[in-house]
C-alpha cells in the first residue's frame, strides 16, 4: 500500500504533461493569429488612405513672339504711320513666361490735324504647380486680377466692362476715356484667358489740331479684332512646336532608306573581309 502511492503520483504527473503542451501550443497559435490580424488591419488602413490627385499639366509651355502675334495688316489698319512697323518689344527675363510689344504712330492729315493711335499686347503664362494649383487655375486668378487692375485705371472716366465672347476661353473688354496731353483718349482693353495664358491688349487713340478723334466704337472694334489674333497665336505657336517635335512621314522614309543603305554597306564590308576558299 505504501509503495503504490509514489507510483500513482508519477502516473498523474505524466498525464498532466500533454495537457500543458496543448495549452502552450494553443497560446502560441492564438498570438500568431492576433499578429496576422493586426498586420491585415494596418494594411487595410494604409490602403484606405486617399491619394492626393496629381495637378493637371499646363496646356501651353511657350508663348508666341508678341511683336508678330498681330498681323502686319491689322497693325497698319489700327496704327497708321507707326514709328516702328515691327513694334517695340517689352523687356522680359523669360519670354516663355512673359512677353509684350507695342506700336504707336501719328497720322498727319495736314491742315485737318493729326490722328494718334497706340496699341499694345501682353502675354503671361502660368505653369502648373503642386502647391499653387494647375496652370489654368492660376491663369484664371491672374485674369481676374488683370480685369480689376484695368477697371481701377487712375483718371479713367466712364469706365465700363462687358464680356467679349469668341475670344479664348473667357474674355472681358474694359472701355473708358482718359484725358492726356490736353486731349481725350478713347481706350479699349481686352483681357482674355486661353488655357494657362492671359492675354491683355490695349488700343487707344485721339485727334490733334482739330482732327476728329476716333470714336469709342471704332476703338473697341479694333481692340477686339487684334485680341482675337493675339489669342489665336498662342494656339498656333503650340501647334507649330508640336509639329516640329513630331517627325514627318517623309523624314521617316528617309530614315528607313538610310538604315537600309547602312545595312547594305555593312553586308558588303563583311563579305569583302571574308577570305575566299
pLDDT digits (tens, 9 = 90+) for 115-153: 999 999 999 999 999 999 999 999 999 999 999 999 999
Q: How many angstroms separate the CA atoms of 107 and 102, rounded?
A: 17
241 contact partners, CB below 8 Å, separation of at least 6: 61, 62
Q: Is residue 275 part of a domain?
A: no
Q: Is residue 73 part of a domain?
A: yes
Q: Is the pTM of this model over 0.85?
A: no
Enclosing domain of residue 198: 66-92+107-244
pLDDT digits (tens, 9 = 90+) for 176-212: 999 998 999 999 999 999 999 999 999 999 999 999 9
Torsion angle (degrees, nearest 10) of CA 133, 241, 193, 143: 50
Q: Tell me the three cell numbers of residue 86.
A: 515691327
Residue 60: pLDDT above 50? yes
pLDDT of residue 267: 57
pLDDT band, very low/low/confident/very high, at 170 (cuts 50, 70, 90): very high
For 187, phi then psi, to 5°, come to -120, 145
Q: Is residue 219 part of a domain?
A: yes
Residue 51: pLDDT above 60? yes
Q: Is residue 190 part of a domain?
A: yes
pLDDT digits (tens, 9 = 90+) for 220-274: 999 999 999 999 999 999 999 999 887 655 555 555 555 565 556 555 555 544 4
Q: How many angstroms separate the CA atoms of 53 and 2, rounded?
A: 85
pLDDT digits (tens, 9 = 90+) for 70-125: 999 999 999 999 999 999 999 999 999 999 999 999 999 898 999 999 999 999 99
Q: What average pLDDT does the segment 36-55 reach?
A: 59
Q: Is residue 218 part of a domain?
A: yes
CATH code for the domain of 83: 3.40.1000
Domain count, the chain: 1
Of the listed ranges 23-32, 62-71, 162-171, 222-231, the one predicted with least confidence:
23-32
Q: Is residue 233 part of a domain?
A: yes
Q: Is residue 40 part of a domain?
A: no
Residue 6: pLDDT above 60? no
Q: Is residue 6 part of a domain?
A: no
Amino acid at each position: 500500500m505504501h509503495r503504490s502511492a509514489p507510483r500513482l503520483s508519477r502516473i498523474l504527473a505524466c498525464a498532466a504533461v500533454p495537457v500543458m503542451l496543448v495549452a502552450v501550443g494553443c497560446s502560441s497559435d492564438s498570438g500568431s493569429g492576433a499578429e496576422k490580424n493586426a498586420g491585415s488591419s494596418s494594411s487595410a488602413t494604409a490602403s484606405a488612405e486617399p491619394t492626393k490627385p496629381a495637378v493637371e499639366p499646363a496646356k501651353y509651355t511657350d508663348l508666341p513672339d508678341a511683336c508678330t502675334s498681330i498681323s502686319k495688316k491689322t497693325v497698319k489698319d489700327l496704327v497708321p504711320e507707326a514709328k516702328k512697323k515691327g513694334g517695340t518689344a517689352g523687356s522680359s527675363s523669360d519670354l516663355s513666361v512673359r512677353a509684350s510689344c507695342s506700336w504707336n504712330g501719328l497720322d498727319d492729315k495736314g491742315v485737318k490735324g493729326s490722328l494718334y493711335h497706340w496699341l499694345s499686347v501682353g502675354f503671361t503664362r502660368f505653369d502648373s504647380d503642386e502647391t499653387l494649383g494647375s496652370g489654368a487655375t492660376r491663369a484664371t486668378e491672374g485674369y481676374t486680377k488683370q480685369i480689376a487692375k484695368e477697371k481701377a485705371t487712375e483718371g479713367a472716366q466712364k469706365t465700363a466692362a462687358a464680356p467679349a465672347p469668341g475670344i479664348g476661353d473667357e474674355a472681358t473688354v474694359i472701355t473708358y476715356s482718359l484725358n492726356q496731353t490736353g486731349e481725350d483718349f478713347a481706350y479699349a482693353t481686352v483681357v482674355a484667358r486661353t488655357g494657362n495664358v492671359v492675354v491683355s491688349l490695349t488700343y487707344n487713340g485721339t485727334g490733334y489740331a482739330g482732327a476728329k478723334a476716333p470714336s469709342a466704337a471704332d476703338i473697341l472694334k479694333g481692340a477686339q479684332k487684334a485680341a482675337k489674333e493675339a489669342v489665336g497665336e498662342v494656339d498656333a505657336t503650340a501647334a507649330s512646336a508640336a509639329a516640329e517635335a513630331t517627325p514627318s512621314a517623309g523624314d521617316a522614309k528617309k530614315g528607313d532608306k538610310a538604315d537600309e543603305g547602312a545595312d547594305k554597306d555593312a553586308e558588303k564590308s563583311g563579305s569583302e573581309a571574308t577570305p575566299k576558299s
